[in-house]
Amino acid sequence: MSPSRISTRIRRIKPSPSSAAADRFAELRREGRDIINLAIGEPDFDTPAHIRQAGCEAIERGETRYTPVAGTLALREAIAAKLQRENGLAYSPREIIVTCGAKHALFNALSVTVEEGHEVIVPAPFWVSYPDIVLACDGTPVIVACREEDDFRLTPEALEAAITPATRWLVFNSPTNPTGTTYTGAQLRALADVLLRHPQVMVLTDDIYEHIRFDDVPPRHLLAIEPALRDRTLVVNGVSKTYAMTGWRIGYAAGPADIIAALDMLQSQSTSGVSSVSQAAAVVALNAEPTFLPEWVATYRKRRDTALRMLNAIPGIRARAPGGAFYLYPHCGGLIGKRTPEGKTLATDNDVVIHLLEAGGVMVLAGTAYGMSPYFRMSTATSVEQIEEGCRRIARAVARLS
Ligand X SMILES: Cc1ncc(COP(=O)(O)O)c(C=O)c1O
Residue 101 or 324: the one with the smaller Cβ distance to ligand X is 101
Instruction: Tell me the residue type at 393.
Output: R
Q: With respect to ligand X, which residue has the nearer C-beta, 176 or 335? A: 176
Q: Is 141 in the site for ligand X (CB under 6 A)?
A: no
Measured from the CB atom, the residue of 255 and 361 that comes closer to ligand X is 255
Q: What is d(CA 7, CA 12) in angstroms, rounded to the nearest whole number? A: 9
Asked if 212 and 181 count as a contact pair (C-beta separation under 8 A), the reply is no
Which residue's beta carbon is nearest to the bound ligand X? 101
Contact between 350 and ligand X per CB under 6 A: no
Site size toward ligand X, by CB under 6 A: 13
Q: Is residue 103 close enough to count as binding ligand X by CB under 6 A?
A: yes
246 binds ligand X (CB under 6 A): yes
Using CB under 6 A, which of the segments 28-36, 116-124, 238-246, 301-309 binds ligand X? 238-246
Minimum CB separation of residue 101 from ligand X in Å reads 3
Tell me how far apart the alpha carbons of residues 225 and 188 are, in angstroms, rounded to a whole number.
7
Residue 357 CB: number of other CB atoms within 10 A? Answer: 22
What is the per-residue burial (b if ≥16 Cβ within 10 Å, else e) of 242-275?
bbbbbebbbbbbbbeeebbebbbebbeeeeebbb
Binding-site string for ligand X from residue 197 to residue 236, where x marks contact by CB under 6 A and - marks none: ---------x-x----------------------------
Please return the burial class of 345, using the count of CB atoms within 10 Å of its CB with bins 0-12, 13-18 and 19+. Answer: exposed
- Torsional sign, CA 192, 301, 395, 35: negative
Q: Check binding of 102 to ligand X (CB under 6 A).
A: yes
The Cα 217–Cα 196 span in angstroms is: 24
Binding mask 159-178 for ligand X (x = CB under 6 A): --------------x---x-
Shortest distance in whole angstroms from residue 32 CB to ligand X: 29
Q: Give me the 27-46 binding string for ligand X, x by CB under 6 A, dash otherwise.
A: --------------x-----
58/133 with CB nearer ligand X: 133
SS3 of the chain: helix, strand, coil, percent, to 5: 45, 15, 40
Distance linking the first and last C-alpha atoms of the chain: 45
The stretch near ligand X (CB under 6 A) out of 25-33, 101-109, 296-304, 337-345 is 101-109
Q: Is 75 in the site for ligand X (CB under 6 A)?
A: no
In 3D space, the residue among 247, 246, 239, 280 whose CA is nearest the CA of residue 54 turns out to be 280
Nearer to ligand X, 177 or 233 (CB): 177
Residues 6+ apart with CB under 8 A from 336: 346, 347, 348, 349, 352, 374
Ramachandran sector of residue 73 (left: φ over 0; alpha: ψ -120 to 50; beta: rest)? alpha
Question: Interacting stretch for ligand X, rule CB under 6 A, among 31-39, 95-103, 116-124, 310-318?
Answer: 95-103
Q: For residues 254 and 84, is the Cβ–Cβ distance under 8 A?
A: no
Contact status: 324 vs ligand X (CB under 6 A): no
State the alpha helices, DSSP H only, in 269-339. 276-287, 293-311
127 binds ligand X (CB under 6 A): yes
At its nearest, how many Å lie between ligand X and the CB of residue 200? 24
- Is 371 an interacting residue with respect to ligand X (CB under 6 A)? no
Residues of the shown chain interacting with ligand X in the complex, contacts defined by CB under 6 A: 41, 101-103, 127, 173, 177, 206, 208, 238, 240, 246, 251
